[in-house]
Amino acid sequence: MADDGCNNRAPQSEADARPAWGAVISMTFGVFGLVGAEFLPASLLTPMAADLRISEGMAGQAVTATAAVALATSLLVTVVTRRIDRRLVLLGLSVLLIFSNLLVAMASNLAMLLAGRVLLGMALGGFWTLSAATMMRLVPEAYVPKALSVMFLGVSAATVFAAPVGSYVGDIVGWRNVFLGAAVLGALALVVQFATLPSLPPRGHSRFGTLFEVLMRPGVGFAMFAILLVFTGHFAFFTYIRPFLETVTGLGVEGFSPSCSASASPPSSATILAPCCWNAPCASR
């Protein structure tokens, strides 16, 4: 079975005596920082591409790199770290989150951008894989659903706020400062985790074959493939929503461009789009 899985509950003395709600909150901060950083390129894609002098399609590979590395990390992390205290692993993943955002903020070319996003993928895949099992060790069994709800509150908040807030703030202070802010949030999460997470020695036996055994169960492999298609379609659309809105619909950060309908030359990503009333005639082109 996978390390720290559902069938390897903590002994009564570890979690059942006193719920570690501070540690639960720290995990919530961690997932908020990770998911927020994951979604930021979707809100900042056009200014990132313009500043790095690459196409928007190439800039979008920042999302691809994160997803691919997160997938590989999620499959390997429990095996690779099976002898390491889970507290140290989670703290290390938060450090990767901070360095990822700093590297992206300082990126001068596509290679640096992708390197930063690779680090984020490692942090994201590892943290997600360990988070649920960690929650089961932080609180008594009766409080596990509540603890998981608190943690997923961070996911929901990041999903709702990361893209629009990142786009708005990026228009004011620049996209690099948005990633610096994300690094600060990651540092805050690291401090809270360092102060609240207890020692969590590894338990159970991890091996690579467990994944394939689970996928071979009736219906599991098909369900996972369907989920893969859903998330692939979601992120393929979501990643390029800003370029589509700016170049096709004329909707930018500040409103509608004077060219409400299609024009011969799409508005530049560096252009600040002026508001345009729906019923007013468009400016001559």
Residue pLDDT, tens place only, 207-256: 666 777 777 888 887 888 888 888 777 777 777 777 767 677 766 666 54
Give the H or E element holding residue 150.
Answer: helix 144-173
Determine the pLDDT at residue 123.
95
Determine the pLDDT at residue 208.
67
**What percent of the chain lies above the pLDDT cut of 70?**
78
Residue 34 CA to residue 123 CA, distance in Å, equals: 8
Q: Which long-range contacts (CB under 8 A, 24 or more apart) does 139-144 make?
A: 139/15, 139/19, 139/20, 139/21, 139/24, 140/15, 140/16, 140/19, 141/9, 141/15, 141/16, 143/19
For residue 285, pLDDT over 80 is answered with no
Residue 235 or residue 160, greater confidence: 160
Residue 76 CA to residue 162 CA, distance in Å, equals: 28
The band of 157, judged by pLDDT with boundaries at 50, 70 and 90, is very high
Q: Which of 10-24, 151-165, 184-198, 253-267 has the highest mean pLDDT?
A: 184-198
Residue 229 or residue 268, greater confidence: 229
**What value does the mean pLDDT of the chain take?**
80
pTM of the predicted model, to two decimals? 0.76
